[in-house]
Structure 1
Amino acid sequence: MNPAGSAPELWRLDAARTRSVSPENPTGAAGGGARASTGTGAHAARLLGPGWKVSPSIELAPGATAVLADIAGPGVIRHFWLTTDRAVLRRLTLRVRWDDDPRPAIDLSLGHFFCNGWEELALFGSEMMVVAPAGGLNSYWPMPFHSRARLTLHNGSDRAVPVYYQVTYTEEDLPGDAARLHTRWRRSAPLGTPAIHTILDGVEGPGRYVGTYLAIQPGAPGWWGEGELKFYLDGDDEHPTLCGTGTEDYFGGAWNFDLAGTYRTYTSPYLGLHQVLPPEEIYRPHQRFGMYRWHVRDPICFRTGLRVTLQALGWGDSETYLPLEHADIATTAWYYA
């Protein structure tokens, strides 16, 4: 299995079995769905009885942690959908642990996992992530696990929130070297000197780097995206093996994302600039941006280690670069290792 590769061969008939965990089937057991007699929909279904949307969600109290799924392996999570109070996405923390590792491989806010690092909801469609109206959060990252997968959600806000969710997975045998999905979230605010934000470091291989989400507020007027992304592979020290030509170039755009004097948002299967706040302004220091890139067709493969950095660079004048030391930058990295 190649968890970072192309779409599955849908015509294959094999030994995999599909299961799904939700408030209507909290264990994912075969034939275990729609059996609830109590739940958040019980009053609405009181005239209909069991099987009629009795338990579509949970209520998560402030300060509480819910176990969304605790699944025995081997298997692969294929789709993770969740919706909740859109105003607190950055205060709800998703943690995922694989097998017997006590440390979560995924540990960050729902907002940053689903490429929504600012306070306003950003909709987009891509192969690996979809944020749909009016707050449907979808992940299609394949997540293999050998013995156990445990997903929890912590409410760090000051109010109770409803949580609707579904974790769909396949029970199937895996090769012993099947890689597990990890994320790493980091923020630099303000960035300081030198104006270099570390997206990822300290990762040992072998592995594949498969995704980047960037949320940036430049903190200076003018164009802010001259900085290069650098990938230091397998012992690279001062100089990287992979070096891009600019921030907008890395995310598939060009020429400042500026078309006829305005930023133009776009989304695609593998990359996009899906958020500009406020959208009617351009080259202002207080503006905020969100963009993503999935290295699915072009994975960054490493053998022994990986470090990833981003320069924050604008223009001091028409001929001189300006390091953006007052920038506010947050990133999420996805990788298999």
Structure 2
Amino acid sequence: MVQEIWQLDGRRTRSISAENPTGEPGAGGRAIAGTGAFAAAGMGRGWKVSPSVDMESGQTVTLADITGPGVIRHIWITLDRTLLRHFTLQVYWDGSPEPAIAVPLGDFFCNGWEQPALVNSQMVVVAPAGGLNSYWPMPFGSNALITLHNGAERTTEVYYQITYLEEDVPSTAGYLHARWRCSDPLGSPAVHPLVEVVGGPGRYVGTYLAIEPRVPGWWGEGEFKFYLDDDGEFPTICGTGTEDYFGGAWNFDLNGTQLPYSTPYLGLVQVQPHDRIYEPQQRFGMYRWHIPDPICFEYGLRATVQALGWREDGHYLPLEHAHVATTALWYQSVR
């Protein structure tokens, strides 16, 4: 990344927003109608006439339809913070009929619960008061199609900007994929499937977990397991507990308080409500980015997480009634 800053190699920057829906050179700020037209009345073209789009209930809007090759470098988007899980982000690479990314907007930005949380990480930043930023590099060959669906019951204003570079993409590049899975309730056995990937080669690069345990006490004894390629009943990578996977320890409990934290590669960003502990209806959200430590596979990957608490007799308690939702991110060859 640092090396790229000083390289002058002819790549061209383009940026798509409601003020420049195509991203074409010199096409920004030309609107004569839009959501800002009333505020800009009498000021003329170029004065924030179309800063956003109104999305009706049930509507799907194309945010970007880009001819490649290129690499998306930054996505910024914001809307009503209470509706983040009602909107779905979908991304299609190179004309595929199936989306490579299909995730509720909030979960893609580590905000799976209605009460928003700030995030200060390498790949995702959520800034006051609800600015959602993705720095996941997203290479594509012939085309990138990004859509947003409004599953809420009302019309909402959406602001967005998608910045990409027109540049060649090597044949060895992996395309970003993301999948959201929700178990509500989890059921028996208390094992939540994060993802199953067929094909490769690939690199697993990130996890976001949102959980509501629905039982009192500590809920995070479950292990993350990654089954690589020919693994059968038992995985190659097996963790030691949920909080351990996200870089924490000992229930995230520091003197009777579970303190949120956000670092470049892992964090616990949602503890709701923050002034309670070990209550059944609490909600938690946490992320881990496998950037310096990617999980590489040749032709297949399966990942799961157990949901375990404690019984009074000291045995594990499978959390069969828990709400567990995960977003899994990986790069995979699609050629």
2:61 is the counterpart of 1:66? yes
Match of 1:332 in 2: 327
Match of 1:303 in 2: 298
Match of 1:3 in 2: none
1:286-333 per-position Cα deviation (integer Å, ceiling 9, x unaligned): 111000000011111100100000011111136321111111100000
Taking the aligned partners of 1:31 and 1:330, their CA distance within structure 2 comes to 42
2:250 is the counterpart of 1:252? no
Match of 2:115 in 1: 120
Taking the aligned partners of 2:3 and 2:211, their CA distance within structure 1 comes to 34
1:220-250 per-position Cα deviation (integer Å, ceiling 9, x unaligned): 2111111110000011011110111110010
SS in 2 for 1:25: coil
Match of 1:273 in 2: 268
Where in structure 2 are there 5+ consecutive unaligned residues?
none
Query: Displacement of 1:204 after TM fit?
Result: 2.0
1:27-56 per-position Cα deviation (integer Å, ceiling 9, x unaligned): 100111111111111121122211111111
Find 2:288's aligned residue among 271, 286, 293.
293
1:186-265 aligned within 5 A = 186-265=181-260
Taking the aligned partners of 2:91 and 2:166, their CA distance within structure 1 comes to 18
2:41 maps to amino acid:
R
Query: Displacement of 1:125 after TM fit?
Result: 1.0
Identity percentage of aligned residues = 65
Q: How many residues align?
A: 332
Taking the aligned partners of 2:67 and 2:2, their CA distance within structure 1 comes to 24
1:40 maps to amino acid:
T
Taking the aligned partners of 1:39 and 1:230, their CA distance within structure 2 comes to 49
Match of 1:45 in 2: 40
1:256-287 per-position Cα deviation (integer Å, ceiling 9, x unaligned): 00000111110001000000111111111111
Find 1:185's aligned residue among 174, 180, 183.
180
Query: Displacement of 1:195 after TM fit?
Result: 0.8
1:198-222 per-position Cα deviation (integer Å, ceiling 9, x unaligned): 1011432210000000000112211
Query: Displacement of 1:15 after TM fit?
Result: 2.2
- TM-score in terms of structure 2 length: 0.97
Taking the aligned partners of 1:97 and 1:31, their CA distance within structure 2 comes to 26
2:97 is the counterpart of 1:135? no
Find 1:103's aligned residue among 88, 98, 115.
98
- TM-score in terms of structure 1 length: 0.96
Taking the aligned partners of 1:169 and 1:58, their CA distance within structure 2 comes to 20
Where in structure 1 are there 5+ consecutive unaligned residues?
1-5
Structure 1 pair 8/284, CA: closer, same or farther in 2 (3 Å)?
A: farther
Range that drifts further, 36-45 or 293-302: 36-45
Taking the aligned partners of 1:112 and 1:137, their CA distance within structure 2 comes to 11
Taking the aligned partners of 1:219 and 1:178, their CA distance within structure 2 comes to 42
SS in 1 for 2:107: helix
1:126-158 per-position Cα deviation (integer Å, ceiling 9, x unaligned): 110011111111000000000000111111111
Query: Displacement of 1:67 after TM fit?
Result: 0.8
Structure 1 pair 8/84, CA: closer, same or farther in 2 (3 Å)?
A: farther
Query: Displacement of 1:177 after TM fit?
Result: 2.6
Taking the aligned partners of 2:244 and 2:128, their CA distance within structure 1 comes to 28
2:323 is the counterpart of 1:323? no
